C-alpha cells in the first residue's frame, strides 16, 4: 500500500488507520476520564468514530478536506427540538490529524485530545466563542 501523497511529500512516517486509532483511542478515553463528573457521564454516551479522511459526502457539503474532527447530530438538550436523522457522534479524521502533527506522535496525541474536546464542546452546545474561552479552538 502506498502512503498518501501528502504524507510521502512531507516525509512523515506512514501510519495505517489501525495504528493511528491505537494511538488516538487511549487519548480520547483519558480526556473523557478527566472531565468533571457531570460532563463525563454525558461524554460517555457520545460515540467516537475514527476515520482516515472525510468522505466525498462531507466534501460535497462544503467541509475542507483537511478537517480534523466533526460533531454530528443534535446538541445536548436539543434532541427533541431538532429534526436530526443521525444520533450525536464525534468523528476524528486521523490521517488529517497525523498530517497536522507532521508525524510527531506527541503532537498527534495532543491534537487528538484538543480536537475531541472541541467536538465534545459542540455537543454541549458551546459555540466557537465558548470553545475559544476554554482554549479548545
- The domain that contains 90 carries what CATH number? 3.30.2010.20
Structure pTM? 0.83
C-alpha cell at position 50: 475514527
Q: Is 3 a domain residue?
A: no
Judged by DSSP in three states, 82 sits in coil
State the residue range of the domain holding 65: 15-133
Number of domains in the chain: 1
Q: Is 124 a domain residue?
A: yes
pLDDT at 5: 47
Q: For the residues of 109-137, what is the DSSP string, one character each?
A: HHHHHHHHHHHHHHHTT--HHHHHHTT--
Q: Is 52 a domain residue?
A: yes
Q: What tens-digit pLDDT sequence spans the chain (137 residues)? A: 444 545 444 455 788 999 999 999 999 999 999 888 888 888 998 999 999 999 999 999 999 999 999 999 888 876 655 565 678 899 999 999 999 999 999 999 999 999 999 999 888 887 778 767 766 55
Is residue 72 within a helix (H) or strand (E), and if so which, with residue range?
Answer: strand 69-72
Q: Is 123 a domain residue?
A: yes
Half-sphere exposure of 76 (CA within 13 A, CB side): 17
Amino acid at each position: 500500500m502506498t502512503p498518501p501523497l501528502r504524507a510521502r511529500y512531507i516525509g512523515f512516517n506512514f501510519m495505517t488507520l489501525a495504528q493511528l486509532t491505537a494511538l488516538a483511542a487511549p487519548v480520547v478515553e483519558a480526556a473523557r476520564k478527566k472531565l468533571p463528573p457531570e460532563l463525563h457521564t454525558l461524554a460517555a454516551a457520545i460515540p467516537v468514530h475514527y476515520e482516515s479522511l472525510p468522505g466525498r459526502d462531507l466534501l460535497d457539503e462544503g467541509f475542507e478536506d483537511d478537517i480534523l474532527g466533526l460533531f454530528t447530530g443534535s446538541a445536548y438538550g436539543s434532541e427533541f427540538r431538532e429534526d436530526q436523522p443521525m444520533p450525536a457522534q464525534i468523528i476524528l479524521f486521523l490521517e488529517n490529524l497525523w498530517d497536522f502533527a507532521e508525524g510527531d506522535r506527541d503532537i498527534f496525541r495532543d491534537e487528538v485530545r484538543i480536537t475531541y474536546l472541541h467536538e465534545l464542546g459542540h455537543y454541549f452546545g458551546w459555540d466557537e466563542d465558548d470553545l475559544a474561552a476554554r482554549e479548545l479552538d
